[in-house]
Chains A and B, each alone.
Chain A
Amino acid sequence: MAPKFEKAKAIEKEHVVVDGIDVSGHWNRMFEQRVITEYTPELIEKIADLPNAESFANCYQCAKCVAVCPVDVVGNYGPRKLYRYAQTGMDLTEAPELWLCTTCANCLRVCPKEVNMVKIMPAVREQAILEGKFVPAELQQAFENTAKSGNPLGQPQRKRDAWIQNAGVPIPIIKDLGRPVDVLWYVGSYPSYHPRGIDAASAAARIFTALGIDFAILGKEEKDDADSQRLAGEKGLFEMMTEYNIETFNKYEWKELVVTGPHELNAFKNVYPKYGFERPVVHYTTFLARYLDQLKPLLKHPVNKKITYHDPCYLGRHNGEYEAPRKLLEAIPGVELVEMGRNRENGYCCGGGGGGMWMDSFTAKHTTMRLSEKRAMEAASTGANVLAVACPFEVSRFEDAVKSTGNEHVGVLDILELLDKSMRGE
């Protein structure tokens, strides 16, 4: 796009007199307009005009965000840069940059102007999708799978509860139970279908059972939360799933909804209220931390490992839970917990959020390495031999990453699996 404004005039003056006072000095370049006026604001306005993307225009280029953006560590990114690119001619709705943000919210944490990528990205992506602009093929597949099969993996709905056969404990389905329960456990898509997710789900079932919790699952009635699809721009898909899920949740009597995944927590707790669903929702780490006193005597077998914990963006920054996962890990005998440099509020994103889970090949073309690989290297650098996680997206991501970065000696385990190991002594 051709610049709308004339090139700025020479901006340094030898002598400057303001209100009769001679203020000449080497700093006097401040008395003229900056060269920024050479650029047109049109493409910034195009973004900021979209509902929910208004804050894009707030940026005053301080660059605090770039320092904490996980994508910038493996590439060239951050809200400041996106603003600048838009200023110099990039239409974000058709640029590959549109798909790189993981909505991890670390920039929002430090931005003095509250430029909010967690809102901007879904809005601009939705626009791009509606206009039929480029959408990464892998992401499109995940959308189609969710719409057709009720889960992004494209697995049959009928098999959603097939995993319970091998969990080693009976897992009641709420429909068959025919009575109210204390806890409705929303298992989630990856824990229901992905082999490593099933390991965590089975561990959770055994822990709940050992604690004597009155729980049930939805079984074949459970469908994906689609929160990451929403953040990736498919709001219509999210709304379709939301209507179904709320109706299904409300069919049964239960006191609390416990979720395996932070993305589900975010959907049900922070977004569903806008759709009329306001019932107690809690992540399994928060839930189990309440049972620490009952849990500790069950953790009989030491797990002699040096463990570092990865804060999932959607459990930590988005939902403020940093302590419960650490308390659970510290309760396991034999565990030595070490922290990575980037932890808690400044935790480094695994790359799976905001639809990144389904864009690995696309992202790889625009970054020097995967975010999960960067994080796996950071985990290994602590000397830990286990990377503990609390999000079902992460086990498979990090297992690939420790392998591809030559850190196979670091095991990747969900906190649920570690608790279960200590309980059963494997």
Chain B
Amino acid sequence: MNIVVAIKHIPSIADDLPVKGNNVDFDSVDFVLNEFDEQSIEQAVLVKEAVGGTVTVVGVDVIGELDNVLHLALAKGADKAVKITGDDPAADSHQQAKWLAEAIKGLSPNIVFAGVQASNDLDGQIGPMIAAYLDMPYIGGVSSVEVSDHTATVNKEFAGGFGAKYSVSLPMVVGVQAASKPPRYAPISKVRQVAQMATIEKVAPSGGVSSGLSFKKMAPPVVTGHAEMIGGSSKEVAAKIVELLKSKGLA
């Protein structure tokens, strides 16, 4: 089984997002692995452990610090790491999807995993676009994947707590919402060992596309309303809530 995981290195939103010009001030922000990609790496390794094969992790190196992320993925059980030397923190998801698809094409994957979305996406389209470029079916919002022979059984989540089970024939692209188990912990001693021994394959970005969107202005959201803290005993608080709901015509 040839398993590929497409990952994204994105600005951390643990911090206030600094703005410079009409984009994020990429120089003064930390980059982290997209949290949905952590799930998709886990799902890929789980599939490999179940049916055998190799896991290749591919990402665009937008700020030159992707190695750390790739080492972590290798320590968690990936077998190969590829970085696309995109070197442009402003590369949007359309551009990254093209570069990723071009790099993945040569790997002839049976199944491609991508995080279902990322906090810097406009549209959560990396997975679907890779699928389109590779001419494969796509299924997103997935919370578990089981593979047998040329078919995968996936659980897809819908709004309102609904879910459905699909049977999809391979090859395909999966947008992972959550892995079937919480991502495993990679001990740092293992990550460091990997960092010393691993080779990361470098690939030049190929193919230019754009989302067609241009930024006019970027600014942190303006704080307008504010939350009201209701104090007192639980009875008093409950009475106030009921009163408020009534006054707004909600009860």
Q: Contact residues of A with B, CB < 8 Å?
A: 126, 129-130, 132, 135, 137, 140, 143-144, 147-149, 154-159, 234-237, 239-240
Contacts and interface: CB of A to CB of B under 8 A. Distances in A.
A130 B28 CA distance: 35
A144 B182 CA distance: 14
Interface in B201-237: none
Nearest to A236: B189
A158 B30 CA distance: 9
Contacts of A239: 188-189, 192
Contact of B12 (A132, A156, A237): A156
A341 B101 CA distance: 68
Interface residues of B, number: 15
B185 A140 contact: yes
Nearest 3 CB-CB pairs, A to B?
A236-B189, A236-B188, A237-B188
Contacts of B28: 158
B20 interface: no
A235 B32 CA distance: 23
Chain A: interface secondary structure?
A: helix
A143 B185 contact: yes
A158 B188 contact: no
B14 A236 contact: no
B142 to A, nearest CB: 22
A132 B191 CA distance: 14
B186 to A, nearest CB: 9
B100 to A, nearest CB: 24
B15 to A, nearest CB: 4
Contacts of B188: 143, 147, 234, 236-237, 239-240
Interface string B187-200: 11111100000000
B184 interface: yes
Given A236-B192, A240-B192, A157 B30 contact: yes
A240 B191 CA distance: 11
30 contacts: A126-B187, A129-B185, A130-B187, A130-B189, A130-B190, A132-B184, A135-B185, A137-B182, A143-B185, A144-B185, A147-B188, A148-B32, A149-B14, A149-B30, A154-B14, A155-B14, A156-B15, A156-B30, A157-B30, A158-B28, A159-B15, A234-B187, A235-B189, A236-B187, A236-B188, A236-B190, A236-B191, A236-B192, A237-B189, A239-B192
A240 B72 CA distance: 14
B30 A129 contact: no
Contacts of B191: 147, 236
